[in-house]
Amino acid sequence: MQDDSMNTLVSELLAFIARPAISDDAFNALALKLFAHQFEHNRPFQKFCQGRGKTPRVVKHWQDIPAVPINAFKDLTLSCVPPETCARTFMTSGTTRGDVKGRHFHPTMAVYDTSMLRNFAQHVMQGDAKLRMGILFPDEVLMPNSSLAHYLALAIGHFGTPDSAYYLDDKGLRTDALCEALQNAQDSGEPFAMLGASYSLVHLMDALQARGQSFRLPAGSRLLDTGGFKGQSREVPMDAFYDQLSATFGVSRDQCLNMYGMTELSTQFYDAGNRQVPSVKRGPHWIRSRLVDPLTGQDVPAGERGILAHTDLANFNSAVTILTEDVGQAQDDGFVLLGRAQGAQAKGCSMAVDNFLKAAQA
């Protein structure tokens, strides 16, 4: 029975995530097991792998599992179970290809939630059990298909004090209420955690600047932004963004955290603050990243820029290894993000796809 095999895998996965650390062999073994499972139960994925000549018979190392480009989440149904039986389906925001959205099917939320909570506790909570939180993102009722909305719901539900709240709803940013909460936190001396989309923080800072308002949040406060600006707000250079965050809320750049996550993953990456940008991002022991040449899938030479490919064991139902469109460079025990691999501009009068798309949209 497929259900049984999935349930066994899920139990194994939860146990794996719960372990304090794991060996390379253990990671490899579970990655290959997940690959074999997906190859067997996910027909489009199977055909994709066959097209690359990569089957469980020949793949012996997690690095050889074919990386599924994130666009496949738009064009293919990547699920080992019928999508309609899934507990949740997360969708991408559809910023790059209009109304075509990537879909990530989660038969159970147990793995995603465990992965998120354990990682969040370590990198964001940093030993605190609860924090007063302000969320700058709509809640799950407003955005039932947003993985970020779910992520933030987990954060506030498990780690937020009762006076934590959402400050963004269908009517927009609740600036007055948020200012009151921030003032209240400042007066009480209780640390405050503000979490949200990077562009929402820009909107908030713009609103506060218009009011001539700023805060000195108590020690232990932290800010977490994610997702970049996506054309939703003005583009702010990273240094200026964190300088302004720090100045507006009185939180040192060491406690301005950035989370790097994707709808197509079930695990997130964090940095240890943004005193220096770009900051080094790290993931927990159940996710490993490589920097690859996007055409050959081979690792780029050490130290060179490459496209990030992530092997996320928590992606048990979709594709264990995905190929992003993000350019990265290895650093220390993690990687730095260097932006997206924007289509190369054609030189001169030849026309490449990117120019073509722009021309088609004009």
Partner 1 sequence: MSPPVFKAGYLPGLNDAEVMWHRLTLGTPQAPFQVEVPQLSPAQMTALAQRVQDASRAHLKTMAVSDIVRVIDKATARLLDRHDTYRQQLERLMPQASGFDAEMVRLNLNTYLQTFRSLQLQRFVAEDFANPKVLDEFQPRTQGGWTRAFGPELLVHVWAGNVPALPMWSFVSGLLVKAGSIGKVASAEPVFATLFAQLLAEVAPRWADCFAVVWWPSGDADPLSTERTAFALADVVLAYGSNEALQVMQARVPVTTRFLPHGHKLSFGMVSAAALSVHKGPGAARQAALDVVRYDQQGCYSPHVFYVQRGGPLSPQDFAHHLANELAALQHKLPRRALSLEEAAQVGAWREAHEFAALNAAKPDNANLTVLGHADALSTVVFSERLLPLSASPLNRNVLVVAVDTLDDVMPLIAPQRDYLQTVGLAAAPEELLPLGQALGQAGVTRICALGAMTAPEAGWHHDGRFSLLDLVRMVDIEASTEHAAERFTSYEA
Place of tokens 């100045």: 247
- If one asks whether residue 359 binds partner 1 (CB under 8 A), the answer comes out as yes
Using rule CB under 8 A, residue 348 touches partner 1? yes
Binding mask 254-293 for partner 1 (x = CB under 8 A): ---------------------------------------x
- Is residue 304 within the footprint of partner 1 (CB under 8 A)? yes
At closest approach, how far in Å is the CB of 112 from partner 1?
24
Q: Does 319 bind partner 1 (CB under 8 A)?
A: no
* Nearer to partner 1 among residue 60 and residue 358 (C-beta): 358
Q: For residues 141 and 126, give the distance between their C-alpha atoms in angstroms, rounded to a whole number.
A: 29
Tell whether residue 307 is a contact of partner 1 (CB under 8 A). Answer: yes
Retrieve residue 291's tokens: 């920097």
Whether 237 contacts 270, CB under 8 Å: no
CA distance 255 to 353: 41
Asked whether 220 and 129 are in contact (CB, 8 A), the reply is: no
Degrees to nearest 5, angle at CA 191 with 236 and 213: 50
Q: Residue 306, interface with partner 1 (CB under 8 A)?
A: yes
Please select the residue that binds partner 1; options are 1, 170, 349, 361, rule is CB under 8 A.
349
Binding mask 17-56 for partner 1 (x = CB under 8 A): ---------------------------x--xx--x-x---
The size of the interface with partner 1 (CB under 8 A), counted in residues, is 39
Q: Which is nearer to partner 1, 69 or 228 (CB)?
A: 69
**In this chain, which of 18, 58, 210, 295 binds partner 1, going by CB under 8 A?**
295
Which of 9, 76, 185, 195 touches partner 1 (CB under 8 A)? Answer: 76
The b-or-e profile of 176-201 (16+ CB within 10 A means b, else e) is: eebbebbeebbeeebbbbbbbbbbbb
| Least distance in angstroms from the C-beta of 291 to partner 1 | 10
Determine which residue in the list 1, 58, 333, 342 makes contact with partner 1, applying CB under 8 A.
342
Q: Using the rule CB under 8 A, is 356 a contact of partner 1? A: yes
> CA angle 306-308-313, nearest 5°?
150
222 neighbors 251 (Cβ within 8 angstroms): yes
- CA neighbor of 266 nearest in space, from 151, 112, 122, 137: 112
CB of 348 to partner 1, least distance (A): 3
346 binds partner 1, rule: CB under 8 A: yes
State how far the Cα of 8 lies from the Cα of 341, in Å rounded to an integer. 38
Q: Which stretch binds partner 1 (CB under 8 A): 131-139, 146-154, 180-188, 338-346?
A: 338-346
Stretch that binds partner 1, among 194-202, 204-212, 230-238, 303-311 (CB under 8 A): 303-311
CB-side exposure of 202: number of CA atoms within 13 Å? 18
Q: What is the DSSP string of 164-205?
A: -EE-EETTEE-HHHHHHHHHHHHHHT--EEEEEEHHHHHHHH
Binding range to partner 1, per CB under 8 A, among 66-74, 79-87, 134-142, 185-193 = 66-74
Q: Are 232 and 226 in contact (CB under 8 A)?
A: no
Q: Which stretch binds partner 1 (CB under 8 A): 1-9, 123-131, 229-237, 305-313?
A: 305-313
Please choose, from the candidates 192, 186, 113, the residue with its C-alpha nearest in 3D space to the C-alpha of residue 155. Answer: 113
Q: Is 347 in the site for partner 1 (CB under 8 A)?
A: yes
Q: How far is CA 133 from the centre of its chain?
A: 20
Question: Is residue 341 a contact point for partner 1 (CB under 8 A)?
Answer: yes
At position 328, the amino acid (one-letter code) is G
The H or E element spanning position 70 is none
Q: Which of 1, 99, 344, 361 binds partner 1 (CB under 8 A)?
A: 344
Give the interface with partner 1 as residue ranges (CB under 8 A).
44, 47-48, 51, 53, 69, 71-72, 75-76, 293-296, 304-307, 323, 325, 327, 341-356, 358-359
